[in-house]
Structure 1
Amino acid sequence: MSTTTGEPSARATEVDRLLAQARAGFQRLRPAEAWAAAGRGAKIVDTRPEHQRRAAGEVPGAIVIERNHLEWRLDPTCESRIPEASSRHIQWIVICAEGYSSSLAAAALRELGLHNATDVVGGFDAWVEAGLPTVRPARPTGPRGPGE
């Protein structure tokens, strides 16, 4: 298990160690910091599956990309990228439900050379708890594909 600081405890599992290693490589953002960064041009990427977005809502303006397509959509050298993925210098802020898979995703993006990638501490649950804006479209926003 991880401690509240994100460091693995003495009884940590391998995934706890992997998560701590991933998080050690970058500065994570609290929800309010992520919202402020988006106001300055950072891109929030929601990797939650549709059923979670339908049940809990969405971050206004977030780009929805399913986790299994994330690296291909954000790599500026890839033919399957989205139009916003025009540079390695973009600040990508990944958000998931609780802030676990988003840490691993941000670490993977950093491995691709997207060194400004980070994630949201506590994920969408913390976003809602912080009272930040959410939307509930009649139909959840669909995932972005190449060229969309």
Structure 2
Amino acid sequence: MSTLDAILDDARSHLQRLQPHELHQLEDALVVDIRPAHNRLAEGEIENSVVVERIVLEWRLDPAGEWRLPGFTADTTVVVVCNEGWASSLAARDLQKIGLPNATDLVGGFRGWRAAGLPIREGGSQPVV
């Protein structure tokens, strides 16, 4: 096993990862899309998701930070979405470390969501800056 695989396995051992249909049925979750703009433009986005670039993710979601997004608390379920569910696992782990114990990610990422035939918003939203 590579070092990266071990890090990913460790990160996922702390997450209650969601399947696409589980996320679709979940109410009151904050869905955060960390994918690059070119992916979002080409493939679309999950309806009601918020785009936060990975480089500012912790600052926008720090429950006690002055730069945090409005409308969520430390108890909010935050679901991070990337292309295929790899980078999102590491990002969700990092969000747990800054005080979001219910942070997790989407198994299969956006592409798993799309393959499940769930609703997609066309085009790409501007990231929260």
Q: Once superposed, which parts of structure 1, at least 4 consecutive aligned residues long, lie more than 3 Å away?
A: none
Residue 78 of structure 1 aligns to a residue whose secondary structure is coil
2:90 corresponds to: 104
1:8 corresponds to: none
1:128 corresponds to: 114
- Aligned-residue Cα RMSD (Å) equals 0.9
Give the deviation of 1:26 after TM superposition: 1.6
CA contact (8 A) 2:63 2:99 kept: no
Question: What TM-score do the two structures reach when normalised by structure 2?
Answer: 0.97
Q: In structure 1, how many angstroms separate the alpha carbons of the residues matched to 2:121 and 2:59?
A: 27
Higher relative contact order (CA 8 A, sep 6+): 2
2:35 corresponds to: 48
Total equivalences in the alignment: 129
Question: What TM-score do the two structures reach when normalised by structure 1?
Answer: 0.84
Structure 1, unmatched stretches of 5+, are: 1-11
1:32-79 deviation line (CA, Å, top 9, x unaligned):
111111xx1111000001000011111111000001111100112111
Identity %: 45
1:17 corresponds to: 6
Bigger Rg, which one: 1
Structure 2, unmatched stretches of 5+, are: none
Match of 1:75 among 38, 55, 62: 62
Match of 1:33 among 17, 22, 25: 22
Structure with the bigger percentage of strand? 2
CA contact (8 A) 2:63 2:100 kept: no
